[in-house]
Structures are given as C-alpha cells and as structure tokens.
Structure 1
Amino acid sequence: MSVNLQKGQKISLEKEAGGSLSRVTMGLGWDAIKKGGFFGFGARTESVDLDASCVLFDESNRPVDVVWFRQLKSRDGSIVHTGDNRTGAGEGDDEQIIVDLARVPANVKSLVFTVNSFTGQSFSQVENAYCRLVNASNDREVARYDLSVQGPHTAQIMAKVYRHNGEWKMHAIGENASGRTFDDLMPVITPHL
C-alpha cells in the first residue's frame, strides 16, 4: 500500500516496500492544460513541461552530481533519467528517474528529488500532476505526492532519499519553491540536508 506523503514525513523505504530495496524509480506525471471550447468542441491544449531532477550530495552536503534533462545519467551510471517529456501527453509517468541503490557510490549520502515547471505554469494550473516513488523490483508504489493541490508554485523539493545505519530512508520534504531548474532550488534544498 502506498503512503500518501505529508510534508516533513519520514519513512523507511525498506519497511514501506516490504523488504530490502535495490532499485527505486521516481515517477512524475501530469496532463496538458485544456483551454476553451464549448461542450468539448474547439478546445485546445497548452503544453506543460515539468522536469524531474535528482541531485546527489556527499557527507559534507556538497552536490557531487545531478541527473536531469540535460544529463540523463549520473557519472557512475547508478541513476538514469528516461528522458525529457515536454507535453505531459499519455498515460502513467511522463518522466522517470531510476536509481540502482546498490550502485550509488559510497561517498553519496543523499539523493534529493525535485520537480520544476520549465514552462513556468504553477502546479495549480497543471492537471493531475503527481510525483511518486516506486520499488522498481516489483513495480509497487511506495509513496506519492499530489502536486496539483500545492498551489501557485512552479517547483517542489519532493523528497530526500538518504543512508542511515546501512538502510535507505526517505524524508518527504514537500517544500514548495519557484524556479525553472534544480539550480534555482539549491538555496531551498540546502536547509534539508
């Protein structure tokens, strides 16, 4: 059963996943904005480009790598982005970041997942926007955030996945922010490290 995340909530990923986790996927989904029309006739859609990013931090809380639409793979290959979706068209996740936890380098203490509206629409304007964490081994959803109810923000620091006593845990940050890329969010991310 998936946990509907609340801001600031901490969960053990292994416990929620029902066993040890080796791979997790951060999924991001949304629908294009429907505009105008009368009883469905003449309606058009406005493209929305939300972007999923993952920033890797070391023990000193310094960023050591980032996976996003301009770099689809971490330098060590443990984290892979499936590619930039610029419309939100289609069912299911529109973007995914797949993390092989066993291959994440030992010097990486935490992974911070962010969502940005590259095209500038606020989450309140975007239909059915969500982000979720999935146990990639069995495709079971572990945790989910509904972004569309977050209000007039263009970004969110979704969660931090971090090592604690040899186990991967997750802190549901849920911090609303503004910015078009993860870079704009660094000042907001830092207090959560």
Structure 2
Amino acid sequence: MSISLQKKQTISLAKEGGGALRKVVLGLGWDAAKPTGFFGKLMGNTTEIDLDASCIMIDSAGKAADLVWFRQLESKCGQVQHSGDNRTGEGDGDGDDESILVSLSSLSSDITSLVFTVNSFTGQNFSAVANAYCRIVDAENGKELARLNLSDQGNHTGLIMAYLKRNGDNWTFTAVGSVCRGRTAQDISREAVGVVA
C-alpha cells in the first residue's frame, strides 16, 4: 500500500524482499482549478495550466550537474528521462500529467541526489491549480510507493516537490513541498540544490 507523505518525511526505497529498487518514476498530476463566483461559473473553465516537472541532478560536490526538463528530455548520461511537456493538465490513463523515469542502478556514483521541481511556465500561480500531487512508483512493477499532496494554493509559481538521495546502495525519497517563485527549474536551481545540503 502506498504511503501518503507529509512534508519533510523520508522513506527508504529498499524493496521489501531486500535490495534496492533499480528504476523509479516520479509522476506529477494536476488539474485546473474550477472557476468560482457568478462570473467564473458563467464563463466556464477555459484555463489551461502548463506546469513543468523537472529533475535537477546533483553531484558529490553539491553542484547541479545536469537538468532534465521540457527543453532537455533526457540527461546527458541517458539514465533520467522526461515523458514530455504537458501544457494543459489533461493526464494519461493513470492520472500522471508528466513523469520522469530514473534508472537508479545505472546512475553514475558521482550523482548523489535528484531534486524534483514543478514550475508554472506561463506564470500562472498555484491558486489556479487543483488536485496537484507527486508520487514515486517502482517502474518495474508499477507499484506506487508514496504520494505527496501538492495542492497548497497560493501566489507561488513553483514548488520543490521532493528529492531522492543516495544512501550507500540504497536511495531515500524525501517529500519537500516547498513553495518558490520562478517559471523554470533554472530559475530555482540554487534553492533546489540547497534543500539537500
């Protein structure tokens, strides 16, 4: 059964039968918030929300070594892959609007952390977003391991969702849910790197 994470909560990604997971998927889902008030309901929900999931890869020196996002869908090493840009919030069959596949067992040992962020490229703030979440899934069997509710509405345009951190041969997953400002992961990369320091 999946764990519903609270902010700052950490779980180990070791398999129940022993050993570490080899591949995981970070899934992000959201909807446009329903209109409120008389005129909002009269006009209907015509707003599309373009949120962008990104992965900042951090090396052993604590520096951002690579960035996987809508402008670069695969890491230089090929071990982190983005599903592609979703500009509306209309999800696929399992509800994720964007996802990032990580081959943990094949990552260079110099990569010690992976920070996952989400930004509103169009500059709409999160008061226009509803039902937002991120989840971590075992990519080999499709089992959801943990989920974090990201539906804190407000004037922010970005969130540092969570991070994976190497712990020997295993990885831990930590929920962050920290609000920030910036239209892209590049805009918040210094802040994102700081969460794992």
Could you tell me the TM-score, scaled by structure 1's length? 0.89
Are 2:116 and 1:152 equivalent residues in the alignment?
Answer: no
For residues 152 and 127 of structure 1, the distance between their equivalents in structure 2, rounded to whole angstroms, comes to 13
Report the 3-state secondary structure (helix = DSSP H, G, I; strand = E; otherwise coil) of the residue aligned with 1:45: coil
- What does the per-residue CA deviation read over 1:106-152, in whole Å, with 9 as the maximum and x for residues that have no partner? 21111111111112222232121111111111111112121123533
1:30-179 maps to which residues of 2 (within 5 A)? 30-35=30-35, 43-91=44-92, 92-179=95-182
Provide the rounded CA distance (Å) in 1 between the counterparts of 2:45 and 2:175: 35
Are residues 3 and 62 of structure 1, via their aligned partners in 2, closer, same or farther at CA, if it must alter by over 3 Å?
same
Q: Give the corresponding residue for 1:25.
A: 25
**Residues 53-86 of structure 1: CA deviation (Å, up to 9, x unaligned):** 0011111111111100000000111011010000
Instruction: Decide whether the 8 Å contact of 1:57 with 1:109 is kept in 2.
Output: yes
Question: Any runs of at least 4 consecutive aligned residues in structure 1 with deviations exceeding 4 A, and if so which?
Answer: 15-19
Alignment of 1:174-189 (within 5 A): 174-189=177-192
Q: CA deviation at 1:188?
A: 1.6
Distance 1:57 1:18, change over 3 A: same
Match of 1:191 among 180, 183, 194: 194
Report if the CA contact (8 A) 1:17-1:135 is conserved. no
- Other-structure match for 1:2: 2
* Structure-2 change in CA distance of 1:17 and 1:6 (3 Å): farther
Aligned partners of 1:183, 1:118: CA distance in 2, in Å? Answer: 11
CA distance in 1, matches of 2:133, 2:82: 17
Gaps of 5+ in 1: none
Give secondary structure in 2 for the equivalent of 1:189. helix
Q: State how far apart, in whole Å, the 1-side matches of 2:50 and 2:75 are.
A: 22
Q: What is the number of equivalent residue pairs in this alignment?
A: 193
Structure 1's 120 and 10: CA in aligned 2 closer, same or farther, altered over 3 A?
same
Tell me which amino acid in the other structure corresponds to 1:110: S
Alignment check: 8 A CA contact 2:32 2:128 kept: no
Say what the alpha-carbon RMSD is for the aligned residues.
Answer: 2.3
Moved more, 14-23 or 126-135: 14-23
Q: How many angstroms does 1:174 deviate by?
A: 1.9
Distance 1:43 1:169 in 2: 42
**Cα 1:16–1:127, aligned 2, differ >3 Å: closer, same or farther?**
farther
Q: What is the one-letter code of the residue matched to 1:61?
A: G
Cα offset, 1:41, TM superposition: 6.9
With over 3 angstroms needed to count, the CA separation of the structure-2 counterparts of 1:152 and 1:16, relative to structure 1, is farther
